[in-house]
Structure formats: C-alpha cells, structure tokens
Structure 1
Amino acid sequence: MRNFFATLTVLCAIMISGAAVHAADLDAFTGQSGTLKIAGGTAHIPVMKDAAQAIMEMNSEIRITIAGGGSGVGIKQAGEGLIDIGNSGREATSQELETYGLTMIRWAIDGVSVVVNPKNSVQALSSVQLRDIFAGRLTNWQEVGGEDRPINLYTRDEASGTRNVFWTKAIGKEAIDTKANVVVSNGAMKTAVANDPYAIGYVSVGHIDETVAAVTLDGVTPSIATVKSGDYKVARGLFSLTKGEPQGLAKLFIDYLLSPSGQAIVAAKGFIPVK
C-alpha cells in the first residue's frame, strides 16, 4: 500500500508539472493586445482555430481572425502586407520569397490522400490508374474494378497547396482533366466526396474521417503512421509565412505553434509535429 501511494504521488507530480509546462507556453501573451490576421491554406485552419482559441481565452485583449483562400492567397497577402501570417501547404518559391521578402516557418508535416465515397468498392489504385483517372483517360469505375458508373472528378484550384502536392507527387504533374469539378477547400472537398457515391478527390490526411474513404495507393494506405514512416510519399510541410522576420503577435503566435502546447494541437488535429 505504501508503494502504491508513493507511485501515485510521483504520477501526480509528473502530471502537474506537465500541465504547468503547457500553461507556461501561453505566458508570452500576458500583457499583449491587438489584432492578428491570418489567412491562406485551408488544411491549416483546424490547428489555427484551436491555437487562437487558447490564446484569446487566456487574454481577451487579443483578437485573432482566421480565413482560408488557399496557399497562393496566403503567400500573396502576407507579401502584400494585407495579413500578418500567411499559411501555405507548399514551400514558397525562391521568386516569391525574394519578391515579397518573406520568412517561412514549417510547423507540421501532412500527407495528401486520394479519397472516394465510403460506399465505393474501389478503395485501392495504382499510380498509373490514378493518373489516367485524373487525366480523363479512365472515365468509368468499371475500368478499375468497380461499378459500371461514371467517375466524377473533384479537384482544387491552382492556388491550392493541397492540389500542388497531389499534382506533383501523386500524378507526376499530369494535366488534370478540365471537366473536373473544382472545390475551394479541404472541407468542401470532403463534403463533395461524401455526398457523391461516384466521386474521387483528395484531401489532407488530417481531414480524413468516416465520411470519406482513403484510397490505398501502390499498396500503401495514407495515414499519419505511413506519412511519418515515409512509406506514403504524397506528403508536404505546413508553413506559415510573414513579411520579413516575424514580429509582435505574429512571432508569439508562431512560437506558440512550435511550443509543446502548439505541437500537441498539431498532433490532435491529425498532423505530424516537427518537434
């Protein structure tokens, strides 16, 4: 019994210590005030919202606004000084960095998964089949072992970082059929595929839930584990960018994303922490 209480005391001390460390991650916001504007990549939004909520609950003098728009929007608006932090699911090009004088910080790693409706019997494809589907050369699910039904393509606009990674790493920069339906975000893609039994699209691995089915590609099923191990190759970093070096609330926010608390949010939202 004495050993039991001794063990319990140690465990409680560890838990209290851990909680104190995580609470301390918000200490930098004490005494701060002002508005922080964030926009860009939509995959980032769940992490951004939770981080912003924690900060604003701790200090009501801080207001943080979060918008989507895609990676291209995040890079451009940060560079033009319209927002304080721009989010991107792709690395900014050397030209973008130089033109806008941007600083880029990676705080998570993410995979991009092909998804279909859960009712679809086709939940595994080869890279060749995937390229042919998105190029419009395969147009019926029967051609890849499914029902005799047309394949309904869904893609993202060219400003999307998710699209850029999918286009580059999943289909080898094959031209995507111009008849594909274009949706504006990871959330919109997931909703579209969930509501269309014959759809195929792609989302951030962190957005996968029971409403869509992740497609095994070349024998590897996309998941946090397979992205982390490197077995699943369709992966990317999640970045935040500022014009020049981060300053003020922007710096504090990015520091928080890289803190133990911030990285815990990253993991809880289905991404891979960088620390």
Structure 2
Amino acid sequence: MKKVIGLLTAVGLMTAPLVQAGTVTVSGSTSVAHVMEVLAENYQNTAKKNVEVQSTGSSAGIRAAKDGTSMIGMSSRNIKENELNDTTKEIVIARDGIAAAVNKANPVQDLTQEQISKIYRGEIKNWSEVGGEARPIVVVTRENGSGTRGAFEEIMDLQRTVNGHKVTAITPTAQVGNGNGMIKTIVANNPYAIGYISLGSVDDSLVALSVGGVEATDTNIAAGEYQIARPFIVLVNDQPHPNAQSFIDFIMSNDGQSIVAEEGYIRVQ
C-alpha cells in the first residue's frame, strides 16, 4: 500500500506543473478557428500560456461549452435558446461576411440574393439562366453542423418545416465539403461550381460574387449593405476559468481586435 501511495504522490507532483500551466481549451466552428488560431499564437507569445484550438464545428463547440468539455466554445452562427443553459454566456468577438464564390473563369460576377437561393434550392440549374455559359451549375455546400451552413441557410431562406421541424432546403444533389478549405478547393478546380465560404477565407483562388450589386467587403458589411453576414461568437461558463477569461480579455482588447481586422474580419470594438 505504501508503494502505491508513493507512486500516486510522485505522479501528482509530476503533473502539478501541467495543471498550473492551465492550458486554455477552445473548440468549435472551423470558420472562427481560422482567426482564433492566430489570436492564440499571439496570446501565447505574450502571455506565455498555452491555448489549444480544435476545429469541430459550431454545433459541437456549443455543446462543448455547455457541457464544460471545452473552456471556450466557438460558433459562426446565432445560438438557439434550447442550445444554452443558465450558466452559459455568449460573447461576439468579430463579424464576418459569407461570400458566395465562383471559379475565376466564370463570367458571372453578380447575383441577387434570390438567384443564389434558387440555385441552392435547385430551382436554377444552369448558368445560362443567370447570364453565364450554358453549363449545369455544380452546387457546393458545407456539411451538417457547420455554423457557416447554418447561418447561410437562415439568411438565404434555405430551410423548410417538415412535421414541425426545420430541415434544409438545399438541393440533395449538392456536393458537400468539410471546412472552408475544401469548399475553396472544389470551386477553384471546377469552372461551373458555386460555393459559400467565410469572407475572411477568400483568396485569389476564386471570386467572391457581388450580391445585388453590393460587393462583399468589410466596409459594406459594417454599413449593413452586404446582407449575407453573421457574428463570430465564443461561449463560456458565466464564471470562466481565470486563464480562459484572460484569453478572452486579450481577444477583446485593442491588440486582439487589430488581429481580427488584419485577418480580414470586422472588429466589434
């Protein structure tokens, strides 16, 4: 018995520094994770505290914050009332647009919100119907549980009610990509594809469409003119771990919000 107690004591002494280090665990939206990883790297360099970011999807991040399996959850869509409990609070850390994106070879540069919605419902099937080539439209969507998909469906009226439950109205023939990176790859390699990604993830591999003549820019989102936009939210316990609170304080500081802006998102303060 003494040997067992001695071993447990030794293990406790060995792990004590790790507990004191207090790694901040963050999980959820792949869209929020893009900027969160940059924020975490900068915070670690200055505060000398560890931050672990995992991309698990908005729904999983909300559950993790609610259940306490992560100190901080991430969501790129609005939170439903039944997803929270009395001890969970939301903090908006940034705002982001969702870009409807096409291949660089596609002559179509502008669509209305209604046209995009009809494309995703499968009601518009050919690019010739919206001023493009006579080619079938390849619709690309995010996976179930994606915050980007949830926000896109809500904003673009791509949900229908069946037996009292909301279900997707996106055409079942749509290709599914997990994460912004996969959507970009599919669209960049198919001249007849259309997908949607976080505006902060847009690069020169594809083209973000104007919507109703309004370009997808930070300025237009901040002015409320570009309508396909959503908040970036973190969720924490109402009495978060001190290390988690310290990291959130950094995110909401001028330095943290400057990083948000540098990464292509809209600061909230």
Scaled by the length of structure 2, the TM-score of the pair is: 0.85
Unaligned runs of 5+ in 2: 1-19, 161-168
- Give the aligned partner of residue 184 of structure 2: 190
- Give the aligned partner of residue 112 of structure 2: 126
Are 2:95 and 2:231, in contact at CA under 8 Å, matched by a contact in 1?
Answer: yes
- Give the aligned partner of residue 66 of structure 1: 53
Are 2:39 and 2:251, in contact at CA under 8 Å, matched by a contact in 1?
Answer: yes
| Counterpart-to-counterpart distance in 1, 2:74 and 2:150 | 14
| Counterpart-to-counterpart distance in 2, 1:58 and 1:33 | 15
Are 2:120 and 2:139, in contact at CA under 8 Å, matched by a contact in 1?
Answer: yes
Q: Shift of the alpha carbon at 1:93?
A: 1.4
| Counterpart-to-counterpart distance in 2, 1:189 and 1:87 | 20
Unaligned runs of 5+ in 1: 1-31
Are 2:76 and 2:231, in contact at CA under 8 Å, matched by a contact in 1?
Answer: yes
Q: Shift of the alpha carbon at 1:96?
A: 1.4
Q: Shift of the alpha carbon at 1:59?
A: 4.6
Are 1:69 and 1:184, in contact at CA under 8 Å, matched by a contact in 2?
Answer: no
In the alignment, which of 87, 93, 111 is matched to residue 101 of structure 1?
A: 87
Matches for 1:42-57 after TM superposition, within 5 Å:
42-57=30-45
| Counterpart-to-counterpart distance in 2, 1:59 and 1:105 | 21
- Give the aligned partner of residue 133 of structure 2: 147
In the alignment, which of 232, 247, 262 is matched to residue 268 of structure 1?
A: 262
Question: SS of 1:242's equivalent?
Answer: strand
In the alignment, which of 218, 221, 225 is matched to residue 224 of structure 1?
A: 218
- Give the aligned partner of residue 81 of structure 1: 68
Q: Shift of the alpha carbon at 1:172?
A: 5.2
| Counterpart-to-counterpart distance in 2, 1:39 and 1:240 | 9
- Give the aligned partner of residue 22 of structure 1: none
CA RMSD of aligned residues (A): 1.6
Deviations 1:177-204 (A, max 9, x none): 0111111112221222112211101111
1:252 aligned onto 2:246: yes
- Give the aligned partner of residue 142 of structure 2: 156
Deviations 1:50-69 (A, max 9, x none): 22112222354x22211112
Are 1:96 and 1:102, in contact at CA under 8 Å, matched by a contact in 2?
Answer: no
1:178 aligned onto 2:172: yes
Are 2:27 and 2:72, in contact at CA under 8 Å, matched by a contact in 1?
Answer: yes
| Counterpart-to-counterpart distance in 1, 2:124 and 2:28 | 33
| Counterpart-to-counterpart distance in 1, 2:115 and 2:229 | 19
| Counterpart-to-counterpart distance in 2, 1:89 and 1:157 | 14
| Counterpart-to-counterpart distance in 2, 1:235 and 1:168 | 11
The one-letter code matched in structure 1 to 2:41 is: Q
Question: SS of 1:150's equivalent?
Answer: coil
In the alignment, which of 151, 157, 166 is matched to residue 152 of structure 2?
A: 166
Question: SS of 2:31's equivalent?
Answer: coil
1:37 aligned onto 2:39: no
- Give the aligned partner of residue 18 of structure 1: none
Are 1:122 and 1:146, in contact at CA under 8 Å, matched by a contact in 2?
Answer: yes
The one-letter code matched in structure 2 to 1:239 is: I
Are 1:103 and 1:246, in contact at CA under 8 Å, matched by a contact in 2?
Answer: no
Scaled by the length of structure 1, the TM-score of the pair is: 0.83
